[in-house]
Structure 1
Amino acid sequence: MSASHALEVPMPAPAYPHPATLTLANGLRVTLHAAPHLKRCAAVVRVAAGSHDAPLAWPGLAHFLEHLLFLGTERFPTGEGLMTYVQQHGGQVNASTRERTTEFFFELPVSNVAQGLERLADMLARPRLALDDQLREREVLQAEFVAWSQDAKAQQQVALLEGVANGHPLRDFHAGNRDSLPVETEAFQQGLRTFHAQFYQSGQMTLSLAGPQPLDQLQALAHRFGEIIIPGSGHPQVAPPALMQSQPQAYRHVAGQHLHHVIACNAPREALEFLCTWLNNPAPGGLLAELQAQGLGTALHASVLYHFAGQALLDIDVTLSQPGEPAAQVEALLHDWLGFFAHSDWTSLREEFTRLTARQRQVQGALALARNDREALSDQDITALHTLLDSLHLPCARHLWQLPPHNPFLRPPVKDQRAGLIRGQTSAHRGLRTFAQDRSRGRRDAAALTFSQALPIDSQEGALYLNWRFDSRAPSGLEGALHELSENARQAGLELTVETIGHDWRVSLVGLHALMPTVLEALAQNLTQAQETPDTTPPLLAIRTLLKALPTCCAETTAADANNTLSWNTARWHGLGVGLPPACEALIKTAAARLPGQPTSIERHTRDLKGQRVWHEVNTDASEAALLLFCPTPSPSLADEAAWRLLAHRVQGPFYQRLRVEQQIGYAVFSGIRQISGQTGLLFGVQSPHLSLDEIVQHLHSFLAQLPGLIEGDTDLGNAALAQQFAVDTLPTAQAAQLIWHAHLAGHPSDYLALLQQHIRDCTPPDLQHAAQQLNHAVGGWHCVANGPHTTNAWPLKN
């Protein structure tokens, strides 16, 4: 970032209120995060029991129970339970089983959180555990097991843990499958209920709530939740055997282009997180920069793999430039850096780390804040880290390393007395830039960069979207060149993401708007020097790979574009700012003047399939069949969008119930509205371990054919609940800004959200039936994105 163009803008306060903690009379521990800036409320229940706590006879029992708890209770059957309720009100819900903990979490509008908590408490305390549910859900775990056993990343993780001592549960099988879960036997049923009784009680749980409500209201919600949970005194978790024969101890694991250096130790998690922060820093003078300079590695990621009862595994994962790179040379550099770090003064790094963690708490959404259980870094943590590094007997550093510089976005910028000068000018040259130059550039910028007033500007958050249009292909390998910038921005509270869609290259900045002018100026400087680099992202799950490819599949591109080189000379760009105060808008305009390419308004052309059904084949390097079906609305009108959103709202639950729960065709089964470059459509996704693509297509076709009958006779379409999801005062800024950006691309008016709400409220049962018929007849066309060819004529798709 150029210091000569520092932009002065009010920065948010670095401090953030610490959460309140209490223990209820029944032993339930509670953490409360009262954050007035939040738009929604989130709840997280952490149960002190995980896969390593399950009986040895039945691996996977803990994960199996987590699945079963979502299948309804006597009070709230499946169609009225937590998952359905959260989906109906536009929230998010999920669960996760780890080695020694299981988490259940959701996020909802404030007005719905009490109902969500009631359902969550009831499902944790009073699950049905019906045998027919268990038999069906075991098949879901079997499908997940098959996918897990074929997933390269998962198997690499298994191989990575082979360096742990025999007898430690990290070496054991915990996935759960048809063979390890004999639900038909009485012994297993007794074991399942015993596990639930031991661990799913108040003494074994922690509830974390985060929301805009005052503390007393959050506390009242916690008490209502605690009244439903079964009281208990807690059940001690058995401590595992030693990770390795002696500690600390390290071992090496090489798999393909990845070199893992794993350290087994007893350091506190906060100390290891502190070390990982500086290991992962990509700034010049650090380990990653040196690996890249010597051509040994392209990426580095240090993380805590495991932490429980004083045991920890630290994994330092280096992506090698080429398979077979000398591991000893890479590890020598690692040890040299660790030796340098061990003997450095950490005072400034501790201050920086404190700023970083405070800023993250300040900008996190409700769910992320509720899940944040990080403690403050203490003197004891620092002492433990010194002890760990000393015990590794590291060599004296030979290389001229540098500690990472301070993140420039975590502090207010220094006021620049020479602001406004052209680079290279002194104050004696002020005014030499002609009015004609300013007016000329200003007219083009005004056409290219617009600002929406659709969101209030009384919060600290906003969004800025920039879109470049290239005559040929858009760049697809600039993530590496922007890595340091995007990481610094993320740490400071501004998410910088990039996306390539055909001829378009898109950058979004979402978060603290006070940072945007400075980050935008740094982005302009980076782009003028950036070079495309190969993608080193690890392989994704097949369905995720298809989701990443979907926008490009829907764009109009040609195969010949792939050989063209990156050039900014003829690129044109435009952008939209959302939720930004006038002072920030002015600074953004100044910074945007330095962006490469030509600022100009770009006419949007939505691809019209004219009713065609188009098949796109994407290589995912996976044996399982995975498929996405994206069905655009027949027209860009708000009436069509509202009807299709309501149809998606009505269909989401039955689609999941039919294909995943009843027919069990796969474990990745979902549907919902998706917007791609302003085009709205209904998206269906399936990944199956045992069906072919053609069989998945047949299931989708059958479900769509039954849609008119499924919604026939509906009197309550859910209009009010869906319309409320688009209320500006309850939408998180990131979601609201994304909607406004797509509305801008589609050419909708500035009051898009209010108009959409009204159209949704006005939808009638005939409107919904009409939308279902249009969907079945592919009036807006269909994009089918799959990881294989279409081999039969059962569905008339075109390649």
Structure 2
Amino acid sequence: MAPADRQQRIRLANGVRVRLIEDPAATQSAALLQLAAGSHHEPAAWPGLAHLLEHVLFTGSKGFQESDRLMAWVPAQGGKLNATTLTTSTAWFVGVNPAQLDAALARLVDMLAFPLMAVEAIAQEVAVIDAEYRMLASHTETLTSAALSHAFAQPHPLHRFQVGNQASFGEDNAALQRALRAYHRRFFHAGRLTLWLQGPQPLAEQRALAERWGNLFRPDPALAPPRRILRIPLTASGSAMAGARPPADGMANSSSPRTHCISNAPRLARRTPCTDDVPRLALQPHRAFALHHAAAHLMLYSFIIDDPAVETFSLLQALLQDTAAYSLLATLRAAGLCDDLRLLEPWRSPVQSVLTIEFQLCEPAGESATLRRSLEVLFTRWLVMLQDLPAGGLSHYAALALQRFRQHEPLDQLRARAFSLPPPESKAERLAARWQHLLSQLRPERMTRLEVSPEIIADRREVQGFWLELNAVEWPGVACQQENAGSGGDNPLMNAESGGANPLLNAGPGVAALPVMAFYSGASLPSPSILPSESVALHSVPGSGIPCLLLSPLPDQPLSPRVAAIVTSSLQTVSGDCLHNGGELSFSRRQGIWLLQLRGNSELLPSALNAVIPQLIAPSASAIRTGERLARRARQRLTSDIAVRCLLAQLPGLIRGEGAAEDNGPHLPHLRWSATLYGGDKALSLALARLLSRFPAEVNPEPLIPAARVPGRSLQCPTESRDAAAVVFCPLTESTAACLAAWQLMAVLFEPRFFQQYRVEKNIGYVVSCRFHQVSGVAGLLFALQSPSRSVEELLGYIAEFIMQRAEGIDGLTEEAIRDVSLPLREGLHEAVFNPTAYCLTDWQQRQLALPALTADSFAQLSPISIRKYYRQLAHHPECWWQLSNFPLTP
């Protein structure tokens, strides 16, 4: 992320606001156009119109159509694009290689300023949104967001149906086209648009791009020059001369002769648009509700924030998601109340926001009211503690929020700045004042409450166009038995490793005993006192930047979901402590393989690894219980998530047999792990190699002869979604760099055509995806479809048909076409070398494949003959494909 002196705000001649961010270290560039109008601005007669327009604008514009339009062009360049419709704003955004920013911006501006909005395209997108609506009807976050709206006073646009569906749009597509064009004419002018650019380009170059393309939008009416001034000389008697236009009020001026100016278009000062075109939210008297959901145990607390400084939201997020000892989250986990939490902003206007803290509850082990009381008393006490956070602590957590932000790609950074959680970048004094303004509104008397659980029995009602089982409920108050003891002493919950008495849950009615909670106070991780004498053969890769240690089971050595979940829970506290000390520890699944990443300076890495290893050798009872809950929840998501996501989550296990033999022990099984250090000196490498000799698994063993490739097979998976879904994964047919390069090139060729054929022409549904994919040490082409109107058999037939239809296009490839198509792929390899963080993961991913390294020469050596050869290997061996499909969990 660029420092503040490399950011610039300007306003173009037509009124478009521009934010420029120069990031010399970035390997990607991004552009985002934000419209200050959203679902709340659409006509009441057309619910979902703003969402529909977001979709329709992608279908073609005057300057770019068919394969040259943004939706088809960006994936062919290896870039990313998307859009989102919010209540009071809409945004379209794209990320590409820096050399392609100019061409991407040309297409983005053209599709927003000069859309075609053809009737045929509108009909297609109505069907897509209808499929999306059906999919969202069981989406947990959508339903909880709708339920939250019940706490706010009506009438308000928040309570309207906003997604849209076939019923709301009707059958008269010509009328719908007129409504879309009227909405576009009303809102798509420069006064409501903000253009964001970010990338390695100097600010002067970015400004030139902004002026070249941003000035194409219709000017802001508020900045239009005044109309021609009519000067009317008056007679001595005060009457107008013959033929002159009389004053608007019909009265003559009786003062001495002078020149009178008439203008019905006064020039307005520059102003922030849309500050008063959305009514303010207000709380209704009853603010506690319960929602039935078959697959979720949640508690959500919400607050209305007036005149928000949104940079403070990411600061609050850093405090909420702190996992170090004595933090709120660590305390809740140790108490068996909550496994995770997150900060959401379900609604925002220019003058208000709604902040929601969502707690992922442990499965209820007792009476629900007691659990609610225990959670709320801890949370509200923590809010009180925030008032006493010293200036140094505030600066520390602001730095953590900024560090988290800097880890994102430019496109995600722009999204955070434009409509999500921007980083806290104000100077300390101003940030502190804004922070106090936020805290003044995070008070229990301003809080709404929503409990979500399968155990809730409630009435069925329609809210925001979705059917919910939702009731208002009584919410008893709580009292605190003792004050927080500060930052010293032991936390009885943190040390409770058995299923013993919980001082929160066993408190008297309406009373809660509070454990010690504290914010980070500057403690560092202890260094290892004595290093083991033995060592492992640690792989070392020279590099610049902060040293990074990567550890992962070999691709053919899968961790069971249960053990992986226990490892995740065991490392949470160490991860928080590591973050506070300037490092990073994470354990997550990447491309089907569990990866432990440890990043930090030469002093921190040995200390952090020394703290990690005991947690893996002997996980605590609390970590085991938490891990088992996480594993159960992950198994539940295999059926309750969006259907195609359920199938993708099953793919790694299908390929490697993961989870076939569940390990019920608390320790890591004796698997073979790889370990690689990126960067750092020889002393660091030796210290880590010696510490890894105590790692509870075999590290960097002698390579074995690769196992024979397992032929593909099919799997049917139950899902709660009634949509049909199908995933086909076609792995490489040769273990060569040339085959890997050919598969990536075919993915670039196939992706836009697959989307065009099944999302536009056949319009089978909302999910249509074709891409290069790597999973469990296997690379290949991935095809995914989900449809509310087609059968699984039809979807699988479409994928097979598509692959077979590519023969003619492949046969027509020329040397020049291959060079053009492979250019973004070659540039991506080049850029990763100059980004240490990206290079670590790119190199690790390559190592999982057990293939020769992919280089620019691998693409340069591709020829029409070799591409035809590899295509025929793909098309003529369907027995190698892995196929997953779903069936409804209940008839």
For 2:522 and 2:127, locate their aligned partners in 1 and report how far apart those are by CA, in whole Å. 49
User: Which of 403, 419, 439 is equivalent to 1:359?
Assistant: 403
Residues 107-127 of structure 1: CA deviation (Å, up to 9, x unaligned): 111111111111111111111
User: Which of 406, 419, 422 is equivalent to 2:530?
Assistant: 422
Distance 1:77 1:470, change over 3 A: closer
- Quick check: 1:548 aligned with 2:660? no
Q: Which residue of 2 aligns with 1:430?
A: none
Aligned partner of residue 33 in structure 1, secondary structure: strand
Q: Which residue of 2 aligns with 1:450?
A: 539
Aligned partner of residue 798 in structure 2, secondary structure: helix
Amino acid at match of 1:743: Q
Residues 490-530 of structure 1: CA deviation (Å, up to 9, x unaligned): 7857472323999x753245799996555444433432343
For 1:280 and 1:748, locate their aligned partners in 2 and report how far apart those are by CA, in whole Å. 39
For 1:525 and 1:730, locate their aligned partners in 2 and report how far apart those are by CA, in whole Å. 38
User: Which of 371, 374, 378 is equivalent to 2:415?
Assistant: 371
- Quick check: 1:634 aligned with 2:722? no
Judge conservation of contact 1:302–1:316 (CA < 8 Å) in 2.
yes
Q: Which residue of 2 aligns with 1:623?
A: 722
Distance 1:544 1:122, change over 3 A: same
Distance 1:226 1:744, change over 3 A: same
Judge conservation of contact 2:62–2:116 (CA < 8 Å) in 1.
yes
Once the two structures are TM-superposed, the CA of residue 631 in structure 1 deviates from its matched residue by 0.8
Amino acid at match of 1:726: R
Once the two structures are TM-superposed, the CA of residue 73 in structure 1 deviates from its matched residue by 1.8
Once the two structures are TM-superposed, the CA of residue 72 in structure 1 deviates from its matched residue by 1.8
Judge conservation of contact 2:149–2:158 (CA < 8 Å) in 1.
yes
Once the two structures are TM-superposed, the CA of residue 281 in structure 1 deviates from its matched residue by 2.8
For 1:54 and 1:729, locate their aligned partners in 2 and report how far apart those are by CA, in whole Å. 46
Give runs of aligned pairs for residues 276-675 of structure 1, distance below 5 A.
Answer: 276-323=317-364, 325-326=368-369, 328-334=372-378, 336-338=380-382, 340-373=384-417, 374=422, 376=425, 378-389=431-442, 392=445, 398=483, 399-406=514-521, 421-422=529-530, 437=533, 441-442=534-535, 445-446=536-537, 449-452=538-541, 457-460=543-546, 464-467=550-553, 473=560, 475-477=563-565, 478-486=567-575, 494=584, 496-499=586-589, 505-509=594-598, 518-530=607-619, 531=624, 532-535=627-630, 536=633, 539-557=640-658, 559=660, 561-568=661-668, 570-578=670-678, 585-586=685-686, 588-589=688-689, 591-601=691-701, 603=703, 608=708, 612-675=711-774
Q: Which residue of 1 aligns with 2:288?
A: 251
Aligned partner of residue 352 in structure 1, secondary structure: helix
Aligned partner of residue 683 in structure 1, secondary structure: strand
Amino acid at match of 2:589: E
Once the two structures are TM-superposed, the CA of residue 615 in structure 1 deviates from its matched residue by 0.9
Residues 229-265 of structure 1: CA deviation (Å, up to 9, x unaligned): 3322466365434433469x95344545212222334
Once the two structures are TM-superposed, the CA of residue 784 in structure 1 deviates from its matched residue by 0.9
Aligned partner of residue 368 in structure 2, secondary structure: coil
For 1:587 and 1:17, locate their aligned partners in 2 and report how far apart those are by CA, in whole Å. 40
Residues 386-431 of structure 1: CA deviation (Å, up to 9, x unaligned): 42246739977642442221587xxxx79x8xx67417xxxxxxxx
User: Which of 276, 288, 306 is equivalent to 1:266?
Assistant: 306
Amino acid at match of 1:184: D
Most deviating of 186-195 and 457-466: 457-466
Amino acid at match of 1:527: L
Distance 1:486 1:122, change over 3 A: farther
Amino acid at match of 1:325: S
Residues 183-205 of structure 1: CA deviation (Å, up to 9, x unaligned): 73554333211211222222211
Distance 1:370 1:389, change over 3 A: closer
Once the two structures are TM-superposed, the CA of residue 613 in structure 1 deviates from its matched residue by 4.1
- Quick check: 1:742 aligned with 2:845? yes
Residues 143-164 of structure 1: CA deviation (Å, up to 9, x unaligned): 1112112334422332232222
For 1:222 and 1:591, locate their aligned partners in 2 and report how far apart those are by CA, in whole Å. 53
Judge conservation of contact 2:119–2:177 (CA < 8 Å) in 1.
no
Residues 557-584 of structure 1: CA deviation (Å, up to 9, x unaligned): 573x125424336333222344666676
Once the two structures are TM-superposed, the CA of residue 744 in structure 1 deviates from its matched residue by 1.9
Aligned partner of residue 32 in structure 2, secondary structure: strand
For 2:90 and 2:694, locate their aligned partners in 1 and report how far apart those are by CA, in whole Å. 49
For 1:697 and 1:789, locate their aligned partners in 2 and report how far apart those are by CA, in whole Å. 17
For 2:302 and 2:845, locate their aligned partners in 1 and report how far apart those are by CA, in whole Å. 44
Judge conservation of contact 2:76–2:751 (CA < 8 Å) in 1.
no
* Structure 1 unpaired stretches of 5+: 1-12, 424-432, 791-799
Judge conservation of contact 2:672–2:699 (CA < 8 Å) in 1.
yes
Aligned partner of residue 797 in structure 2, secondary structure: helix
Judge conservation of contact 1:33–1:209 (CA < 8 Å) in 2.
yes
Aligned partner of residue 788 in structure 1, secondary structure: strand
For 2:204 and 2:603, locate their aligned partners in 1 and report how far apart those are by CA, in whole Å. 32
Distance 1:551 1:579, change over 3 A: farther
Most deviating of 626-635 and 333-342: 333-342
Once the two structures are TM-superposed, the CA of residue 213 in structure 1 deviates from its matched residue by 2.0
Q: Greater Rg, structure 1 or structure 2? A: 2
- Quick check: 1:685 aligned with 2:784? yes
- Quick check: 1:184 aligned with 2:184? no
Judge conservation of contact 2:97–2:824 (CA < 8 Å) in 1.
no
Once the two structures are TM-superposed, the CA of residue 649 in structure 1 deviates from its matched residue by 1.5
Distance 1:297 1:400, change over 3 A: closer
For 2:763 and 2:401, locate their aligned partners in 1 and report how far apart those are by CA, in whole Å. 43
Aligned partner of residue 742 in structure 1, secondary structure: helix
Once the two structures are TM-superposed, the CA of residue 629 in structure 1 deviates from its matched residue by 0.6
Most deviating of 72-81 and 493-502: 493-502
For 2:600 and 2:870, locate their aligned partners in 1 and report how far apart those are by CA, in whole Å. 36
For 1:759 and 1:572, locate their aligned partners in 2 and report how far apart those are by CA, in whole Å. 30
TM-score by length of 1: 0.84
For 2:363 and 2:644, locate their aligned partners in 1 and report how far apart those are by CA, in whole Å. 27
For 2:798 and 2:303, locate their aligned partners in 1 and report how far apart those are by CA, in whole Å. 48
Once the two structures are TM-superposed, the CA of residue 681 in structure 1 deviates from its matched residue by 0.9
For 1:549 and 1:557, locate their aligned partners in 2 and report how far apart those are by CA, in whole Å. 9
Amino acid at match of 1:552: G
Distance 1:198 1:766, change over 3 A: same
Distance 1:662 1:49, change over 3 A: same
For 2:721 and 2:761, locate their aligned partners in 1 and report how far apart those are by CA, in whole Å. 25
Most deviating of 521-530 and 173-182: 521-530
Distance 1:708 1:788, change over 3 A: same
Judge conservation of contact 1:202–1:232 (CA < 8 Å) in 2.
yes
Q: Which residue of 2 aligns with 1:197?
A: 185
For 1:685 and 1:605, locate their aligned partners in 2 and report how far apart those are by CA, in whole Å. 33
Q: Which residue of 2 aligns with 1:22?
A: 10
Distance 1:153 1:208, change over 3 A: closer
* Structure 2 unpaired stretches of 5+: 223-272, 447-477, 484-513
TM-score by length of 2: 0.76
Q: Which residue of 1 aligns with 2:470?
A: none
Q: Which residue of 2 aligns with 1:236?
A: 274
For 1:209 and 1:518, locate their aligned partners in 2 and report how far apart those are by CA, in whole Å. 40
Amino acid at match of 1:761: A
Residues 743-762 of structure 1: CA deviation (Å, up to 9, x unaligned): 3233334xx232xx323223
The percent identity for this pair of structures is: 26
Q: Which residue of 1 aligns with 2:499?
A: none
